[in-house]
Amino acid sequence: MKIKAVRLYGKEDLRFEEFELRDIQDDEILAQVMTDSLCMSSYKAMLQGSGHRCIPDDIGRNPIIMGHELCARILRVGCKVKKDYKPGDIFAVQAKMFFGDEIKSPGYCYTTYGGNATNIIVPSEVIDGGYLLPFDGDAYFKASMAEPISCLISALRSSFHLAPNNKDHMMGLRPGGSMAILAGCGPMGLGAAEAAMALDNRPARIVLTDIDEKRVARAQALLKGKNGVKLEILNTNGIGDLPGFLGAGRNQFDDILVMAPVPGVIEQADSLSGIDTCINFFAGPTRKDFYASINFYDVHYNYKHIIGTSGGDIDDMREALRLIEAGEIDVSVLISHIGGLNCAAETTKSLPRIPGAKKLIYCNADLPLTAIDEFAEKGKSDPFFADLRDICAQSNMLWCREAEEYLLEHAKPILED
């Protein structure tokens, strides 16, 4: 069958193209990709090509399909896997997969399996490994958001504190404590706050900081405290004494997430730490010689912990899907733009320069990348966007199930019949 996909051939060599997809084998699955959310990790992979630790050396001859935050619908099932899967099933995927000592991921390793495609073939090793996860939510886009949420759940679960009597490690956020999310008004910062408020081990106070007023204003408009958590969202641009500004003292912040790979932000986290504070450097740098200054006096005498996490495991993904299906996490706050597969390549190349939050791709639609807050202006000349604006207006101008249903019914298809 003819499909369209975004494929990586080398460093910064990303191509949107049509090609023939082979037939599935008896132990494989053919699926239609419904949505894929674009990730900064894909941008970093595009920059590095085969220099990336997860990308094969031969992508010039065997290009990989990009994208790993996908939701798909099964079209056809090989005879050897019909017992567990059937056409029409909806699934999300576990991005970080373990095969012995090898780590693989859609969007990095496979020529027929990735999120930036109209249709894909799910390899037998993915099926056998249990890395397809059924989704029972009410919208495809919510399953695409499960992968970034799972990375955040992994980060929150990886935080630890010391038992006062014996120094055993108590995993997770400090219950009833105080948490800071620095450079936190982007999509992953908002997702981190949503996830932290949904977990059983939740803090009593969460402070999100940023220096971009548009991001701060958007976060203030969309994110609300819940489950007894007090939420503060602050613009810290130009603040010299950040600990004083935030009211931080000894033991004030128990858990700190660093959401930008900037030495100054790491050093801010260091200045906000107290006794037994856990700092998680969540933002992945592209430079291998990335350094920041840390006060190791506090590491020794105040039991400060510094950790980093990347991705999530399958248990994190299951928990993310459970919380999303139950409505405990509102993933709509993560999405600022929608578009069709035709814009995925250029959007990936430009991700750091496009303002807003997550860019959601409908992989069988032909649509320009469009910010939700631009629907009204575009709607003046295009009734499609006027209708989307009216639908989203009923949901506080957030992307929603009704908007997705309208798009799937009315958007121009990316493939000709």
Calculate what percentage of the chain has a pLDDT beyond 90.
91
Separation of CA 118 from chain center: 20
Per residue in 170-190, pLDDT tens?
Answer: 999 999 999 999 999 999 999
* Model pLDDT for residues 304-355, shown as the tens digit of each residue: 999 999 889 999 999 999 999 999 999 999 999 999 999 999 999 999 999 9
Kindly state the tokens that stand for 196: 């932290």
pLDDT band at 417 (very low <50, low <70, confident <90, very high): low
3-state secondary structure of 379: helix
Residue 244 pLDDT > 90: no
What is the overall mean pLDDT for the chain? 95
- Under 8 Å CB-to-CB from 129, ≥6 apart: which residues? 97, 98, 99
**Which residues, 6+ apart, have CB-to-CB distance to 26 below 8 Å?**
78, 79, 80, 81
How much is the pLDDT for 242? 85
What pLDDT, on the 0 to 100 scale, is given for residue 241?
A: 85
How far lies 75's CA from each of 123, 128, 282, 314, in Å? 14, 18, 37, 24
Q: Which amino acid is at 211?
A: I
Judge if pTM exceeds 0.85.
yes
Q: Which pLDDT band holds residue 248 (cuts at 50, 70, 90)? A: low
CB-neighbour burial class of residue 380 (10 A; exposed 0-12, middle 13-18, buried 19+): exposed
Q: Is the pLDDT of residue 110 over 90?
A: yes
* Model confidence pLDDT, tens digit, residues 60-87: 999 999 999 999 999 999 999 999 999 9
* pLDDT for the residue 197: 98
**Domains identified in the chain and CATH numbers:** 1-144+330-417 (3.90.180.10), 148-308 (3.40.50.720)
- Mean pLDDT score, 280-293: 92
